[in-house]
Chains A and B, each alone.
Chain A
Amino acid sequence: MIRTLTVALALAFVAPAYAEQPCCATGDLGLVVERSTGSLLVVDQSERAAIGRIEGLGDLSHASIVYAPDERFAYVFGRDGGLTKVDILAQSIVGRVIQGGNSIGGAISDDGELVAVANYEPGGVRIFDSETLELVADIPTGSKTIGLVDAPGRRFVFSLWDAGETWIADLSGAEPVVTRNEGTGSYPYDALVTGDGRTYIAGLFGEKGLTAFDLWDETPTPRRILPDYGKGQEDLPVYKMPHLEGWALAGDRFVLPAVGLHQVLWVDARSLEEVARTDTHGQPVFAMARPDGRQVWVNFAHPLNDTIQVIDTLTAQVIHEFRPGPAILHMEFTPRGHEVWVSVRDAGKVIVYDAETFEELGVIEAEKPSGIFFTARAHRLGL
């Protein structure tokens, strides 16, 4: 009894230290990239509102963001080679390095200790300490490097646009171990890793099909999938490269944007065989599955980028089409999928929709918004 009281008293003295911690949790927050002004809008999901802006991040065309496991710190990868660490609670930049001349995206290791950036110039991947942003490893590839994702076991996987290779960097030991795979195919433009970390799939621009690697294999080897899609059809011009990041398992299959065809492709998750195709409004850019996998939302490349189509997973049919506004760049679902947030660049708006009724629920003003990133990504592999 006395001992309990002593402990309670001790805790009472300790408690004020906790009280000085910041007031707010971040599980409900997110960041919206404002690409032209080099700024980030801090947004609150349940308020459907902007709660602040972080400025000074450089050229944010094609910027992407990953989150530290604590969902407080975010790492922003800018086109100008800038790697910026921001504190969402303090709404400020806490670190920034210009690590390359021209970059295309990044990833954070499963343990949250390493942040990797893929660079076009100089071609390769650079890996940084997530705490200090000090360089930990430099992996030159001699090629524009794309499709960088994290994989379990402090690994990063990425592909080489010019060389058509896929490399796996293992940072679990004292020194990085890099495994090179040739034969990925012609001009891999982006890649994804499945949520279980097992399958890495690179999309190809220079030829038909995609290339899959089973990361559970002792020595992953390239396997061409969907080699025949679009064969015999004339390619349509691609005014914006599709992104594979928005992939998600939709039931027992996943859906991917085709390249040079106005279609999305349905792939059996187990066999990696094509099982269906859906004709779409334009060249798909993102095909984002709602977290429950019941629907897939698709946006399109210029000049058909004012439209979104919603596809039903069971029937592979378009069930809804609407026009939120000019230049829709990204869609982000709330973690459980009840809402979707859509960035409409040339309208200067992020619009929030009910993901079931498609009703518009709110509008947030933003300066040329592009990517929307909710903090729940912190706990999802490959994001």
Chain B
Amino acid sequence: MRALRKYSLNISALLFLPAPLYAEAINAEQAAHLENLVIQDCGSCHGLTRKGGLGSPLTPDDLSHAEPEGLAMIILDGVPGTAMPPWRPLLTEDEALWIANYLLTEPAK
């Protein structure tokens, strides 16, 4: 699975696509998987509707000040001293960036 992701990323690099938008490095199947992860597993702390819980709210309004790259770093490295764990052991940088953009653009239900 992990190897496949790298492969698809390499192809997009070979085709000299512009700096990959988040959607391009992640295929539809991966996107569905990541969306489920955001809703269900991030949702454990941040709420299924991303309106917060033990973790802070993550709706586009709440994140309006944030840059996708910054959010991706928080996802990958966590926030020391809080309950937000580093997801780097489980996610690639492309996946974290996809999630960051998803949070910034996908309206909360």
Q: Are A102 and B83 in contact (CB under 8 A)?
A: no
B44 contacts A61, C-beta separation under 8 Å: yes
Residue-wise interface mask of A (70-105) relative to B, using a CB-CB cutoff of 8 A (1 in contact, 0 not)? 000000000110000000000000000000011010
B39 sits at the interface (CB 8 A): yes
Contact of B53 among A102, A205, A302 (CB under 8 A): A102
Residue from the list B40, B41, B49, B54 in contact with A189, Cβ < 8 A: B54
**Given known A205-B83, A327-B40, A346-B36, contact A241–B47 (CB-CB < 8 A):** no
Q: A239 contacts the other chain (Cβ, under 8 Å)?
A: yes
- Residues 24-64 of B contacting A (Cβ, < 8 Å): 36, 39-41, 43-45, 47-49, 51-54
B56 nearest CB across to chain A (Å): 11
Assess whether A161 is interfacial by the CB under 8 Å rule. yes
Cα–Cα, bound, A102→B43 (Å): 13
Taking CB atoms, residues of chain A closer than 8 Å to B41 are 239-240, 302
Residues of B within 8 A of A238 (CB): 83, 85
Quick one: given A205-B83, A237-B89, A241-B83, are A59 and B48 in contact (CB under 8 Å)? yes
Contact B53 A62 (CB under 8 A): yes
* B78 near A59: Cβ-Cβ < 8 Å: no
Q: Mark interface residues in B69-100 (1 if CB within 8 Å of A CB, else 0).
A: 00000000010000101110110000000000
Q: A144 vs B47: C-alpha distance in the bound complex, in angstroms?
A: 14
CB of A187 closer than 8 Å to a CB of B: yes
The distance from the CB of B73 to the nearest CB of chain A, in whole angstroms, is 15
- Cα–Cα distance between A61 and B78 once the two chains are bound (Å): 22
- Which residues of chain A are within 8 angstroms of B36 by Cβ–Cβ distance? 346
Please name all residues of chain B whose beta carbon is closer than 8 Å to the beta carbon of A155 when the two chains form the complex: none
Q: Which of B48, B49, B52, B78 contacts A120 (CB 8 A)?
A: B52
Main secondary structure of the interface of A (DSSP, over half): loop
List the A side residues contacting B45 at CB < 8 Å: 240-241
* A:50-74 near B, CB below 8 Å: 59-62
Closest 8 CB pairs of A and B: A237-B85, A61-B48, A302-B41, A61-B43, A240-B44, A59-B49, A79-B47, A59-B48
B48:A79 contact, CB within 8 angstroms: yes
Shortest Cβ distance from B102 into chain A, in angstroms? 17
Cα–Cα distance between A216 and B83 once the two chains are bound (Å)? 33
CA distance A240 to B52 in the complex (A): 15
Interface size on A, residues (CB 8 A): 29
In the complex, A228 Cα to B86 Cα: how many Å? 24
> Can you spell out 22 A-B residue pairs with CB atoms less than 8 angstroms apart?
A36-B39, A59-B47, A59-B49, A60-B48, A61-B48, A62-B53, A79-B49, A80-B49, A80-B51, A101-B51, A102-B52, A104-B53, A187-B83, A189-B54, A237-B86, A239-B85, A240-B45, A302-B90, A303-B90, A327-B40, A346-B40, A368-B40
Interface residues of B (CB under 8 A from A): 36, 39-41, 43-45, 47-49, 51-54, 78, 83, 85-87, 89-90
B5 CB, nearest partner CB in chain A, Å: 15
Bound CA–CA A101/B57 (angstroms): 12
Is A330 positioned at the interface, with any CB of B under 8 Å from its CB?
A: no
Contact B40 A345 (CB under 8 A): yes
Task: Indicate whether A365 reaches chain B with its CB closer than 8 angstroms.
Answer: no
Measured between C-beta atoms, what is the minimum distance from B65 to chain A in Å?
Answer: 20
Q: Do B47 and A102 touch (CB < 8 A)?
A: yes
For the complex formed, measure the closest distance between the CB of B54 and the CB atoms of chain A, giving whole angstroms.
7
A208 at the interface (CB under 8 A from B): no
> B49, A237: Cβ atoms under 8 Å?
no
CA distance A144 to B48 in the complex (A): 18
Residues of A within 8 A of B49 (CB): 59, 61, 79-80
Q: Which residues of B contact A161 (CB under 8 A)?
A: 54
User: In the complex the two chains form, is A120's CB within 8 Å of B53's CB?
Assistant: yes
Which A residues touch B78, using CB under 8 A?
237
* Interface check A312, CB cutoff 8 A: no
Distance of A113 Cα from B20 Cα, bound (Å): 59
**Additional A-B contact list (6), CB under 8 Å, known A61-B48, A238-B85:** A62-B53, A79-B48, A79-B53, A237-B86, A239-B85, A303-B90
Knowing A61-B44, A187-B83 are in contact, say whether A120-B54 is a contact too (CB < 8 A).
Answer: yes
B80 shortest CB reach to chain A, Å = 11
- B52 proximity list for chain A (CB < 8 A): 102, 120-121
Q: Does A290 contact B (CB under 8 A)?
A: no
The answer, yes or no, to whether A349 is at the interface (CB within 8 Å) is no
Nearest residue in A to B86 (C-beta to C-beta)?
A: A237
A303 to B43 alpha-carbon distance, docked (Å): 14
Q: Which residues of B contact A253 (CB under 8 A)?
A: none
Chain B residue contacts of A144, Cβ below 8 A? 54
